[in-house]
Amino acid sequence: MDEYSIRRACGCGGYKLILMDVDMPELTGIEATSEIRLTNRSLPIVAVSAYTASDDIDACLQAGMNDYSRVECFNVGDSSEAVQTCDAAEGAGEVAER
């Protein structure tokens, strides 16, 4: 995620959900989430990572991510519980924070 993408996410830019890679080359998912949360607390952010250590999951949630999805290979066509949770929260007019 680069600075332009973070600015778009902060203003919501039409995004309904961010699937955040935890281990990105320019900026970690935790850093990017922290930046987004400075101006946008309501946009659902779900960590997507193969890391499963409880410290990694806790760090994501502490940074402001709403949920954590462990994946080894992500297929956009797959429907995950985390995405379904965000869809349900949006339909109810709220985003549940953990």
Domain ranges across the chain: 3-91
Residue position matching structure tokens 């778009």 = 8
Residue 7 has a pLDDT of 63
Mean pLDDT of 22-45: 89
Asked if pLDDT for residue 67 goes beyond 80, the answer is yes
Mean pLDDT of 6-18: 69
Asked if pLDDT for residue 52 goes beyond 50, the answer is yes
Residue 95 has a pLDDT of 46
Segment among 27-31, 39-43, 74-78 with least mean pLDDT: 74-78
Fold of the domain spanning 3-91 = Rossmann fold (3.40.50)
| pTM, full prediction | 0.65
Measuring CA to CA, how many Å separate 28 from each of 25, 37, 56, 85, 96?
7, 14, 12, 24, 23
Angstrom distance (rounded) from CA 51 to CA 13: 29
Residue 61 has a pLDDT of 94
